[in-house]
């Protein structure tokens, strides 16, 4: 007989997806930023913003569901002037724009917060890769290495 756990939720955008050690930093949002989004340093010290065309990626905004009471609802944002966690190395759930395969290199699409495996006009996230196959619009896992 299969046991069914109704409290287990599917992946949520920005969710840190496993218990492996992660490297993360805390930065202040210059504007509202969703979870699972690629970010760069902001204009002021210790700030972040969504990655732009000329940006250098710092990491991906991460959500630890066991600790983040305020942000447990899907679609939550790190509000302007709030401190948010940025995963520099670890596993995070993100939404992909295009179909991807496990092992594909991950790229950020500037100014959108989306991810793809297409390099043209996009920004490489260091050596980050997709960990699972997914079709456009799906949530999948990315191994962040910025």
Helix (H, G, I), strand (E, B) or coil at 57: strand
Tokens 């295009």, residue?
A: 98
Tens digit of each residue's pLDDT, the chain (146 residues): 555 545 556 788 998 988 888 999 999 999 999 999 999 999 999 999 999 999 999 999 998 665 555 555 666 789 999 999 999 999 999 999 999 999 999 999 999 999 999 999 999 999 999 999 999 999 999 999 99
pTM summary value: 0.88
* Distance in angstroms (rounded) separating the CA atoms of residues 91 and 109: 19
| Domain 23-145: CATH superfamily, name plus number | Head decoration protein D (2.40.300.10)
Q: How far is CA 19 from CA 15, 44, 60, 90, 92, in A?
A: 11, 32, 17, 9, 11
Contacts of 4 (CB under 8 A, 6+ apart): none
């Amino acid at each position: 007989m299969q046991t069914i756990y109704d409290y287990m939720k599917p992946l949520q955008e920005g969710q840190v997806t496993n218990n492996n050690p992660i490297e993360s930093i805390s930065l202040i949002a210059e504007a509202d930023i969703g979870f699972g989004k690629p970010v760069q340093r902001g204009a002021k010290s210790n700030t972040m913003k969504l990655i732009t065309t000329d940006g250098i990626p710092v990491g991906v905004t991460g959500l630890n569901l066991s600790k983040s009471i305020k942000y447990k609802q899907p679609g939550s944002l790190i509000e302007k002037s709030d401190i948010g966690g940025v995963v520099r190395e670890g596993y995070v759930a993100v939404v992909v724009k295009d179909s991807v395969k496990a092992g594909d290199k991950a790229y950020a699409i500037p100014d959108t917060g989306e991810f793809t495996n297409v390099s043209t006009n996009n920004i490489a996230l260091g050596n980050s890769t997709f960990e699972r196959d997914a079709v456009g619009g799906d949530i999948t896992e990315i191994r962040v290495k910025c």
